[in-house]
């Protein structure tokens, strides 16, 4: 099954291919199938990127699946026949509809408006939420000689979220034990602890303190702040997915965060070059966090 997303704006306004090179031209439809399109909006009628659109046939077999682009558009090639279309996005209620796809035709559902899910919209109550170290983790990925990737984690961290009203006024503080870095190779970990990288002897902790929390859409938030590493501080933005609250051994909340760090921003400049000028260690590090915090009684 061929899947594609339209990269030009306004494609739902035209059902006919335009002149060559025109921005509203649709890709050619296959002779044995058709194309299906829609544009997904949030509750404020803003285009909603990264919404998942799933198409299944009469036998509940998946015919197409994909995500909307930055303008909320989705386009896929689908076999002809009656299909069910499901649109989902984090923090929103699922929306479903039915559509008939005709051979060598483009079918547009048009604008699809999602509504907020009341359960996922419930934010943590004001108070101090302390990280549960047994259910929280910081992982990272770095590139090695431009080929493979090295995966690692920091095994010792502590943090807290001071939830305020409104939630955007909340603060996050995190402290990470630099010596707890673990990539599964002792010699490499010792090198990462040295002055070439983390300089653990002089800077035993990494610190993150937030200065702004912004809701982007649905369950997507951005936590902005400063990360201090080796005594050097640099702005960092954590792309955050809020996962809600639960009651289990106390009241808990959780989120998933991701960011990308540039080594040069923290003066981590150690490097060896291969013959072709390729660095042994890549210039950026991808960081992912899974955080679970418990409300202090």
For the chain, the domains span 3-113, 127-295
Over its C-alpha atoms, the chain yields an Rg (Å, rounded) of 24
Using the predicted structure, report yes or no on whether residue 118 has a pLDDT greater than 90.
no
Peptide bond into 166 cis (omega under 30): yes
Alpha-carbon gap, residue 122 to 164, rounded angstroms: 14
For 164, residues 6+ apart whose C-beta sits below 8 A from its C-beta are 126, 170, 171
Phi-psi region of 121 (alpha: psi -120 to 50; beta: other; left: phi over 0): alpha
DSSP string, the chain: --EE---STTGGG--S--STT-TTPPPPPPTT-EEEEEEEE-TTS-B-TT-EEEEE-TTS-EEEEEE--TTSEEEEEE-SEEEEEEEE-TTB--EEEEEEE-TT-EEEEEEEE--B-TTTTPPPPSEEEEE-GGG-EEEEEEEETTTEEEEEEE--EEEEEEE-SSGGG-EEEEEEEGGGEE-S-HHHHHHHHSTTTT-TTT--EEEEEEEEEEEEETTEEEEEEEEEETTEEEEEEEEEEEEEEEESSSEEEEEEEEEEEEGGGGT-----B-TTS-BSEEEEEEEEEEEEEEE--
Q: Are 92 and 221 in contact (CB under 8 A)?
A: no
Please give the average per-residue pLDDT across 100-117, as a whole number: 93
pLDDT tens for 81-92 read 999 999 999 999
Using the predicted structure, report yes or no on whether residue 24 has a pLDDT greater than 80.
no
Distance of CA 122 to the CA centre of its chain: 20
CATH top class, domain 3-113? mainly beta
Q: Which residues of 213-240 are buried (b: 16+ CB within 10 A; e: fewer)?
A: beeebbbbbebebebbbbeebeebebeb
Write out the two tokens for 200.
Answer: 């653990």
Using the predicted structure, report yes or no on whether residue 13 has a pLDDT greater than 70.
no
pTM: 0.80
Question: 16-30, 152-166, 235-249: which has the minimum mean pLDDT?
Answer: 16-30
Confidence (pLDDT) at 224: 98
Confidence (pLDDT) at 23: 38
CATH number of 127-295: 2.40.128.110
Using the predicted structure, report yes or no on whether residue 22 has a pLDDT greater than 50.
no
């Amino acid at each position: 099954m061929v899947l594609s997303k339209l990269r030009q704006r306004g494609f739902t306004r035209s059902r006919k291919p335009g002149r060559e090179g025109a921005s509203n031209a649709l890709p050619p439809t296959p002779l044995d199938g058709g194309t299906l399109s829609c544009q997904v909006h949030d509750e404020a009628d803003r285009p909603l990127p990264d919404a998942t659109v799933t198409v299944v046939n009469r036998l509940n077999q998946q015919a197409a699946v994909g995500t909307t682009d930055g303008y909320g558009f989705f386009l896929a090639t689908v076999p002809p026949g009656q299909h069910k279309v499901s649109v989902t996005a984090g923090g929103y209620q699922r929306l479903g509809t039915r559509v008939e796809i005709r051979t060598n035709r483009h079918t547009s559902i048009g604008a699809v408006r999602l509504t907020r899910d009341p359960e996922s919209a419930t934010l943590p109550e004001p108070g101090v939420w302390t990280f549960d170290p047994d259910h929280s983790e910081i992982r990272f990925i770095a590139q090695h000689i431009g080929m493979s990737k090295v995966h690692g984690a920091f095994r010792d961290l502590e943090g807290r979220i001071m939830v305020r009203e409104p939630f955007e006024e909340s603060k996050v503080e995190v402290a990470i034990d630099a010596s707890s870095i673990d990539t599964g190779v002792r010699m490499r970990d010792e090198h990462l602890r040295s002055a070439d990288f983390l300089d653990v002897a002089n800077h035993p902790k990494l610190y993150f303190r937030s200065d702004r929390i912004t809701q982007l859409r649905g369950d997507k938030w951005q936590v902005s702040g400063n990360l201090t590493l080796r005594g050097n501080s640099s702005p960092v933005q954590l792309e955050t997915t809020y996962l809600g609250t639960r009651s289990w051994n106390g009241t808990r909340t959780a989120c998933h965060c991701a960011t990308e760090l540039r080594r040069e921003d923290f003066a981590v400049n150690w490097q060896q070059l291969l013959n072709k000028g390729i660095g042994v260690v890549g210039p950026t590090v991808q960081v992912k966090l899974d955080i679970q915090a418990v409300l202090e009684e």
